[in-house]
Amino acid sequence: MRSDRAPIGLTLAAIAGLLFLHLPILLIFLYAFTTEERTYQFPPPGLTLKWFEVAWNRPDIWPPLYLSLKVAAVSTALALILGTLCAAAMARARFFGRDQLSLLIILPIALPGIITGMSLRSAFSVMDIPFSTFTIILGHATFCIVIVFNNAVARFRRLSGGILEASADLGANGFQTFRHVILPNLGSALLAGGMLAFALSFDEVIVTTFTAGQQSTLPIWMLNELVRPRQRPVTNVVAIVVFVTTFIPILIAYYLTRGGSDTAGAGK
Amino acid sequence: MTPAVTFTNVTRHFGTVRAVDAVDLTIAEGSFFAMLGPSGSGKTTCLRLISGFEQPNAGSIRIFGEDVSRTPPNRRNVNTVFQDYALFPHMNVRDNVAYGLMVKGVGRSARYAKAEEMLALVKLDAYGDRKPGQLSGGQRQRVALARALVNEPKVLLLDEPLGALDLKLREAMQDELKALQQRLGITFVFVTHDQGEALSMADSLAVFNNGRIAQIGTPAEIYGQPRTRFVADFVGSSNVLPPALTQTLGGPARWSSLRPEALRLTAPQEAPLAGPVTSLRYLGSGTRVTVAAKGADIGVFLPAGHPVPATGDYTGIGFAPGALHVMDEA
């Protein structure tokens, strides 16, 4: 017999699983308001908003925040250009080794970050490239490209050859076809890919530790901060900032790609 | 008069497959020309050679006297109604239709005015604001037609334009396309595998087989005087008779064809062909009776109103002297 309702045991297990995943995040938020600054005591002895003010006035927070935003923005921009071009080539051309190349492009995201980080670090030192903002951006671009590529390649496949031919048939040159047909159909996929890439870059730790040299991005700053004894809730305040900065783009990306099924190929 | 389209010895091969093999073809200006053939016969490749999406490996293609063999699609004054319509899903119907004008740099108000005019032509005046996804198959087909006509092409290409429509709509669109072509006076070239569609719509047609043209002619010529067994078999459901049988019917030792509707059932005595009825197929407008006579299955179209024999009945088949069409080629 079929029933629309899941068995009570399964429902409870699912709820327990979700709570296990998400309660710790709520705890992070909670400790941003605690009055106890040295230990994470539960329940918090009192609640206060002063850590937001303290965080705001701490000069050492701002450079990592700027650096993180800059790295995420530049590597996302790089990824948008290179990832889209890769996707266009993979979706439209047929050449020897295409599938293998496609796998190589996706590899950075499948590879453990520590491997990517180590290999980049050794490559940079072999090539005598000093660690700088530039090297962090290169490191982040490796996985940002994959995100954009994956989003774009799926959309390119749905852009049936028919509408590109129709555009040419009606007199459009290659640029006009790109501008009026490809880009509008690709737009939401690129926006979604860009948002995800930005979010991933903004909270990246592992690859960054191998490629950053003396600079700290915000996640690295947080990691260092956790071992300090004083003003612990400041880290939690920053955690909320990171959470919001990464969660909102991911949410937007989710809504953009969810409705995407009726943007291309609906002419069939 | 310069022909609308001329193929001179055009060959297009994909690897070792000769999709179009040394085709010579002339399409008169203002005609409704059909390219008919089974799938893989080269008819669609021929259409794509005219539109510019394929280029010939050998030979030349002229459109109104101008050699376009190496001209890209966007610089040819021909437009296509694609088989799957290929409407731009992100644009509304008006922008779809105005697209050809937009890429030419025609201003917004002028191109929208023209687009509305085209939409009125295909009776979709009120649909400008809809997206293609909100239209039915028949409506999308009309939008594709309006979009292709907005550039005032010298030749309109239609790739299986009615294939995706249901029977009723298809018949209505056949009449409409024909009327539209006569009104606009543009040369229409359309590809189809449906012989009924080709015969009823075209002024002249080419029957394709294996990358070559088996026969070019008016529908009446193609139907009444097929040159090859292939044409006789593919166009209509003709009885194709081997040389020996042709001889016993008083013809030369060549292949011949007999149209089912040219035959009638007679008394078996003295009939040129006679045998038992092996099957009956009711078609509405009549019945197709299959008779096993002299080693061949002969189909006879019996119009409604005539007495229908039973399976197994022994019957004769008679026909007028001119009905036996002897073919030029095997």
Looking at the structure, do residues A122 and A64 belong to the same domain, yes or no? yes
Alpha-carbon gap, residue B89 to B112, rounded angstroms: 18
- Chain A residues in contact with B88 by the CB 8 A cut-off are 163, 166-167, 180-181, 267
Q: Is residue A3 in some structural domain?
A: no
> Is the domain defined by B243-326 classed in CATH 2.40.50.140?
yes
Looking at the structure, do residues A32 and A136 belong to the same domain, yes or no? no
pLDDT at B108 over 50: yes
Q: Mean of the pLDDT values across residues A91-120?
A: 84
Alpha-carbon gap, residue B215 to B114, rounded angstroms: 40
- b/e map of A27-62 (b: 16 or more CB within 10 Å)? ebebbbbbeeeeeeeeeeeeeeeebbeebeeeeebe
Alpha helices by DSSP H, listed for A32-61, are 50-57
- Chain B residues in contact with A268 by the CB 8 A cut-off are 84-85
Preferred mutation among A170, A188, A268 to probe B, highest tally of B CBs within 10 A: A170
pLDDT on residue A42: 73
Q: Quick one: which H or E segment has residue B205?
A: strand B204-209
Q: Is residue A191 in some structural domain?
A: yes
Q: Is residue A7 in some structural domain?
A: no
Order of strands across the sheet that contains B239-241: B239-241, B256-258, B325-326
Tokens found for residue A56: 């705001």
Q: Tell me the average pLDDT of chain B.
A: 91
Q: Is residue A207 in some structural domain?
A: yes
Q: Which of B75, B73, B62, B69 is nearest to B29 (CA)?
A: B62
Closest in B51, B87, B132 to A169, CB measured: B51
Residues B72, A168: C-beta atoms closer than 8 Å: yes
Helices B137-149/B93-102 angle, 10° precision? 20
Q: How far is CA B137 from the centre of its chain?
A: 20
- Chain B residues in contact with A184 by the CB 8 A cut-off are 90
Residues A163, B89: C-beta atoms closer than 8 Å: yes
pLDDT at B16 over 90: no
Looking at the structure, do residues A254 and A155 belong to the same domain, yes or no? yes
Query: How close B146 comes to chain A (CA, Å)?
Result: 12
Looking at the structure, do residues A32 and A68 belong to the same domain, yes or no? no
B330 — pLDDT class (breaks 50, 70, 90): low
pLDDT on residue A25: 85
pLDDT on residue B127: 92
Residues A266, B151: C-beta atoms closer than 8 Å: no
Alpha-carbon gap, residue A135 to B233, rounded angstroms: 72
pLDDT on residue A45: 80
**Residue B97: what residue type?**
V
pLDDT on residue A229: 66
Alpha-carbon gap, residue B223 to B325, rounded angstroms: 11
Are A159 and B136 in contact, with CB atoms under 8 Å apart?
no
The single residue listed with the structure tokens 């030979």 is B59
**A166 to chain B: nearest residue by CA?**
B86
pLDDT on residue A225: 82
pLDDT at A266 over 50: no
Domains: count for chain A = 2
Q: Is residue A8 in some structural domain?
A: no
Q: Mean of the pLDDT values across residues B276-300?
A: 91
Domain at B5-231: CATH architecture: 3-Layer(aba) Sandwich (3.40)
Closest in A167, A169, A263 to B89, CB measured: A263
Start-to-end CA distance of chain B, whole Å, equals: 35
- CATH 2.40.50.140 spans which residues of chain B? 243-326
Q: Is residue A232 in some structural domain?
A: yes
The pTM assigned to this predicted structure is 0.74
The single residue listed with the structure tokens 């019957």 is B315
Closest in A171, A185, A268 to B100, CB measured: A171
Are B193 and B36 in contact, with CB atoms under 8 Å apart?
yes
Residues A169, B74: C-beta atoms closer than 8 Å: yes
- CATH 3.40.50.300 spans which residues of chain B? 5-231
Residues B88, A181: C-beta atoms closer than 8 Å: yes
Per the structure, the complete domain to which residue A39 belongs is given by 16-52
Closest in A169, A171, A267 to B88, CB measured: A267
Looking at the structure, do residues A32 and A117 belong to the same domain, yes or no? no
The single residue listed with the structure tokens 């600079």 is A215
A268 — pLDDT class (breaks 50, 70, 90): very low
The single residue listed with the structure tokens 């809504």 is A255
Q: Which of B324, B320, B318 is nearest to B265 (CA)?
A: B318
Quick: pLDDT tens for A3-48: 577 788 999 999 999 999 988 888 888 888 888 777 777 777 888 8
Residues A267, B133: C-beta atoms closer than 8 Å: yes
| CATH number of the domain enclosing A129 | 1.10.3720.10
pLDDT on residue A2: 56
Q: Is residue A42 in some structural domain?
A: yes
